[in-house]
């Protein structure tokens, strides 16, 4: 069928961007320099999406791909028409254009009764925004005269566990979303008219709100929040458990700074306490609770931190999609007199790292030792998975979990609150508030300065030259070592608060 109008004004990604916020759509079209570029984590997510999309084509074999050519979409449209004329049952990246709207269908299935649309996602569930994505494809094909007899989302099944070989039927779920898409398609014309009106006018004056973070954090958020409205890094939007309704109430009153909140504004006791602490720039310390926490720790204390990575498509037996796979740990062993020992493990790339890491861990940590982690639920989860996988190490691994304590606890329970923590108990905020010198130590690291960078670096080790690999391995070890040293310093700060009280 001849596809109408060769001028491209809108794609399915632009359409879904507009669904989240029409201002974001306008900025992407006319002022993209204000958008925050994707970071390494986002780029890795895009790459994962491409790999998953390619693999899902195996569910629909013997198809033909329309090669992605961003400077020749017209050619892609023509190739699609040619493949349809030639009678291919499955077409990957089938490209259609109608009234300035360009859509690429991940997998198009041609049946005797009409065509089916399959949208492939690397997530583990069907999100509402995916339905909008499929609906604009449905709309374009229908307007071009195709009979769309089914709409589907193909996504990863997180319950899948890999055996010796990869089973595509087990890895993926195919969800029929035809009914939902049909309902959304009825409102598309109105949406398109709305977007056209926005795009033919000046920059929209759309206020900030929940849509800035849902379903994704918008890449225009920095521009809309910081540049245009001057929202500070720590604002009413950071107050612990202050719901969006209360935030909106303050925001509509013109209040965004913590110091501008009136004393009689209705909040919980903890929220009021945090606001007052911030206003006075004072630190609140519940010394009795912290003392109780410290008394439950026995020496030597094993400060533990894992680095992990995830695979949408599991490479090794016994692993599920997006399972946290540990490849590294750092262990600072703190003795009663203050002496520190350091142990570490970093797996070799290109093979399943779990067993050798687990063996090293049980060698380094005795069964009855006090183990300290920051946000221990993560470390416990990793160790529990290792125990499930390696029965001969299970008893020892689970004993490590039984003796684990959480350094996050005093901060999460609000026993220690400092203004510089900005209402958070994440180590990202706690560390610079309690031990500012450590922030400079992280900044001085070469190449890897956070967990996301560590995860991405290890995942790419096998693609590196030997020189690059050696340099990256050194950077990984230095980063992870600093993480457990940071825990030692935080604990030292908590002890100092109690000792200060005792000396008075």
Tokens found for residue 255: 């209040």
In a domain, 248, yes or no: no
CATH number for the domain spanning 100: value is 3.90.320.10
Burial class (CB in 10 A: 0-12, 13-18, 19+), 24: buried
Same domain for 455 and 312, yes or no, is yes
Q: Is residue 438 part of a domain?
A: yes
Quote the number of domains for the chain: 2
Residue 2 pLDDT > 60: no
What's the CATH number where 482 sits?
3.30.420.10
Mean pLDDT (the chain, rounded):
93
Residue 242 lies in a domain: no
Spatial distance between the Cα atoms of 376 and 116, rounded to a whole number of angstroms? 46
Mean pLDDT of 229-256: 85
Range of the domain at 351: 288-503
Considering 199, 218, 233, which residue would you say is the last residue of a domain?
A: 199
* Claim to verify: residue 28 and residue 150 sit in the same structural domain: yes
- pLDDT (mean) for 117-122: 98
Q: Which residue has the tokens 């926490």?
A: 293
Residue closest to 178 by CA, chosen among 117, 102, 238, 242: 117
Q: How far apart are CA 267 and CA 257, in angstroms?
A: 16
Better-scored residue on pLDDT, 375 or 417? 375
User: Sorting pLDDT into bands at 50, 70 and 90, what band is 234?
Assistant: confident
pLDDT at 498: 86
Per-residue pLDDT band at 44 (split at 50, 70, 90)? confident
The mean per-residue pLDDT over the stretch 197-219 comes to 94
Radius of gyration of the chain (CA): 27
- Distance from the first to the final alpha carbon of the chain: 87
254 belongs to a structural domain: no
| pLDDT above 90 coverage of the chain, percent | 81
* Residue whose structure tokens are 């970071």: 39
Residue ending a domain, among 199, 225, 257, is: 199
Q: In which band, very low, low, confident or very high, does the pLDDT at 6 lie, cut at 50, 70 and 90? A: low
3-state helix, strand, coil in the chain (%, to 5): 50, 15, 35
* 175 shares its domain with 315: no
- Together in a domain, 189 and 296: no
pLDDT for the residue numbered 240: 67
Between CA 434 and CA 175 the distance in angstroms is 49
- Which residues, including other chains, have CB under 8 Å from residue 108's CB and lie 6 or more apart? 90, 91, 92, 94, 115, 116, 117, 118
A 10 A CB-CB count for 37 gives 8
Q: What is the mean pLDDT of residues 349-357?
A: 96
Establish if 69 belongs to a structural domain: yes
* Among candidate residues 127, 133, 116, 143, the one with its CA nearest the CA of residue 60: 116
Percent above pLDDT 70 for the chain: 98
272 domain-assigned: no
Residue 212 lies in a domain: no
Q: Could you read off the pLDDT of 47-82 as tens digits, one per residue?
A: 999 999 999 999 999 999 999 999 999 999 999 999
| Residue 35 Cα distances to 20, 49, 230, 429, 492, angstroms | 15, 21, 16, 25, 41
Question: Are 60 and 171 contained in the same domain?
Answer: yes
Instruction: Determine contact, residues 156/123, Cβ cutoff 8 Å.
Output: yes
What residue ranges in 223-347 does DSSP mark as E strands? 284-285, 301-309, 325-334, 340-346
Among 142, 170, 199, the domain boundary falls at 199
Domain-embedded: residue 267: no
Per-residue model confidence as pLDDT tens digits over 75-94: 999 999 999 999 999 999 99
Same structural domain, 195 and 292: no
pTM of the model: 0.90
Using one digit for the tens of pLDDT, what is the confidence trace for 263-301? 889 988 878 877 887 888 888 899 999 999 999 999 999
The total of other beta-carbon atoms located within 10 Å of residue 191's CB is 18
């Amino acid at each position: 069928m001849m596809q109408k109008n060769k001028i491209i004004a809108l794609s399915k990604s632009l359409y879904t961007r507009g669904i989240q916020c029409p201002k974001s759509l306008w900025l992407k079209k006319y002022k993209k320099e204000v958008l925050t570029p994707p970071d390494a984590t986002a780029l890795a997510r895009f790459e994962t999406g491409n790999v998953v999309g390619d693999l899902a084509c195996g569910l629909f074999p013997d198809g033909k791909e329309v090669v992605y050519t961003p400077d020749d979409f017209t050619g892609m449209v023509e190739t699609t028409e040619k493949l349809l004329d030639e009678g291919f049952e499955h077409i990957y990246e089938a490209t259609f254009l109608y009234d300035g709207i360009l859509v690429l269908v991940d997998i198009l299935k041609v049946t005797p009764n009409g065509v089916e649309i399959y949208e492939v996602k690397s997530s583990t569930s069907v999100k509402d925004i995916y339905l909008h994505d499929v609906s604009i494809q449905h709309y374009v094909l229908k307007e071009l005269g195709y009979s769309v007899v089914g709409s589907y989302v193909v996504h990863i099944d997180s319950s899948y566990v890999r055996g010796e070989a990869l089973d595509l039927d087990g890895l993926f779920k195919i969800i029929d979303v035809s009914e939902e898409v049909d309902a959304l398609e009825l409102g598309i014309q109105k949406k398109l008219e709305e977007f056209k009106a926005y795009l033919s006018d000046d920059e929209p004056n759309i206020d900030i709100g929940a849509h800035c973070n849902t379903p994704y954090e918008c890449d225009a958020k920095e521009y809309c929040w910081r540049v245009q409205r001057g929202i500070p890094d720590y604002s009413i939007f950071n107050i612990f458990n202050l719901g969006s309704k209360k935030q909106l109430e303050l925001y509509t009153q013109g209040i965004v700074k913590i110091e501008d909140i009136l004393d009689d504004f209705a909040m919980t006791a903890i929220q009021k306490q945090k606001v007052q602490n911030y206003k006075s720039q004072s630190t609140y310390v519940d010394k009795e609770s912290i003392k109780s926490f410290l008394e439950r720790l026995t020496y030597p204390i094993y400060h533990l931190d894992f680095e992990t990575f995830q695979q949408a498509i599991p490479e090794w037996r016994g692993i599920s999609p997006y399972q946290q796979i540990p490849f590294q740990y750092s262990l600072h062993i703190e003795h009663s007199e203050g002496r520190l020992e350091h142990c570490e493990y970093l797996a070799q790339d290109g093979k399943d790292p779990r067993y050798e890491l687990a063996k090293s861990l049980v060698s380094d940590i005795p069964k009855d030792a006090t183990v300290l982690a920051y946000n221990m639920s993560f470390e416990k989860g990793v160790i529990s998975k290792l125990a499930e996988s390696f029965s001969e190490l299970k008893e020892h691994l689970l004993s490590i979990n039984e003796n684990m304590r959480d350094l996050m606890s005093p901060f999460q329970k609000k026993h220690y609150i400092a203004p510089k923590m900005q209402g958070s108990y994440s180590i990202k905020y706690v560390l610079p508030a309690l031990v500012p010198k450590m922030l400079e130590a992280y900044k001085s690291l070469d190449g890897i300065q956070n967990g996301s960078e560590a995860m991405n670096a290890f995942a790419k080790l096998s693609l590196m030259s030997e020189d690059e690999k050696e340099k990256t391995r050194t950077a990984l070890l230095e980063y992870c070592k600093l993480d457990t040293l940071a825990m030692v310093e935080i604990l030292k700060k908590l002890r100092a608060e109690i000792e200060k009280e005792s000396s008075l």
